[in-house]
Copies of this chain bind each other. A is one copy, B any other.
Amino acid sequence: MSKPYVVGIDIGGTNTVFGIVDARGHVVAADSVKTKKHVNFDDYIQDLHEGLSRLIKANDAEDQIQGIGIGAPNANYYSGEIVNAPNLPWGPIVPLAEKVSKIFGGIPVAVTNDANAAALGEMTYGAARGMKDFIMITLGTGVGSGIVINGQLVYGSDGFAGELGHVIMKRNNGRICGCGRTGCLEAYCSATGVARTAREFLEVRTEPSLLRNLEIEDITSKDVYDAAMAGDKLAKDIFTYTGTILGEALADMAAFSSPQAFILFGGLAKSGDLLLKPIKEAYDKNVMPIFRGKAKIIISELKESDAAVLGASALGWEAKYRYESPLLEKQDDENN
């Protein structure tokens, strides 16, 4: 019998990366197409189909693909659609699962948002193997989350559950967030949030800092990291401030689902103890006594370059949606 594979596709605002993945989580082969240049969704799907078909053929995997999993911003697991994604040009509602399944001749497809895909990847191939209850926090341009309870990803009543970047951490005088409200976790603990904190600290405080050599509006979280690693006190304080807010947020999440672990993923998570130490201190100080010392706070084990594809591919194993066979699919569900 030939070896089973799945395909993982990660749709980002700029690039779409896709790969063929085996059951042990090895990315057998990967490639990419540009997301941005396709203003028309059907053109994009054509291009994706060509690229992926070529990759599958080159690896002699034509009859071995069990399913396709796709991670995309604002993708909904239940409907298979991308809904109101601010950085994609294809309109408010994009029938992603349907179009991909159709162009690949009815192959099963499942979609979810990028943070949920990361959580699935971590559970299938990473630090969360064997865990039934954990929370994945992705620290990138924004703050995303994927929540696993009882071994299942939490999609909620509408498929959009797990937006923990948007719990309110500052109820008074909070920063404006991209979601339109103020005081969200994301406004403080994303890469963008760290840069905003840097600008705030540089304006309010007076001590010298390496960061003062940079144009204040251009400072990135990477600049803050580099300065902190060079021993800059103000830059270290920015990480302490960021980690403290994140630790307070994790403590509240523990009251919800009492996870075995919080797993941090993404650029900021690579800051190591600069961020992890204040997170853990604030968590221990703020978590309810009954949960103290229980949940681990750890960094993702997935290689960042593979993670997006791996995460999406994990969804491919359980993909059920098939274009043109809705009746058959319904029967399957009822018999399970």
Which of A152, A181, A286, A288 has the most chain B CB atoms inside 10 A of its CB?
A288
B289 pairs with A161, CB closer than 8 A: no
Question: Whole-angstrom distance from the CB of A88 to the nearest CB of chain B?
Answer: 16
A158 pairs with B294, CB closer than 8 A: yes
Choose one: B156, B168, B252; the contact of A259 (CB below 8 Å).
Answer: B156
Question: Whole-angstrom distance from the CB of A75 to the nearest CB of chain B?
Answer: 13
Question: Whole-angstrom distance from the CB of A161 to the nearest CB of chain B?
Answer: 4
In the complex, A38 has a CB within 8 A of chain B? no
Contacting residues, chain B, for A290 (C-beta < 8 A): 84, 160, 163, 179
Question: Whole-angstrom distance from the CB of A153 to the nearest CB of chain B?
Answer: 9
Dominant SS among interface residues on chain A: loop
Contacting residues, chain B, for A147 (C-beta < 8 A): 256-257
In the complex, A114 has a CB within 8 A of chain B? no
Q: Interface size of A by Cβ–Cβ distance < 8 Å?
A: 44
8 cross-chain CB contacts under 8 A: A149-B154, A154-B256, A156-B258, A160-B258, A160-B290, A166-B255, A168-B252, A171-B248
What 9 A-B pairs are tightest by C-beta distance, nearest first? Answer: A156-B258, A161-B258, A157-B260, A133-B157, A163-B255, A167-B252, A166-B288, A161-B257, A166-B255
Given contacts A150-B152, A157-B295, 17 further A-B contacts (CB under 8 A): A132-B157, A147-B257, A149-B150, A150-B150, A156-B258, A156-B259, A158-B294, A159-B258, A160-B291, A161-B257, A162-B258, A163-B258, A168-B251, A170-B171, A181-B286, A253-B256, A256-B257
Residues of A within 8 A of B (CB): 84, 132-133, 147, 149-150, 152, 154-164, 166-171, 179-181, 248, 251-253, 255-260, 286, 288-291, 294-295
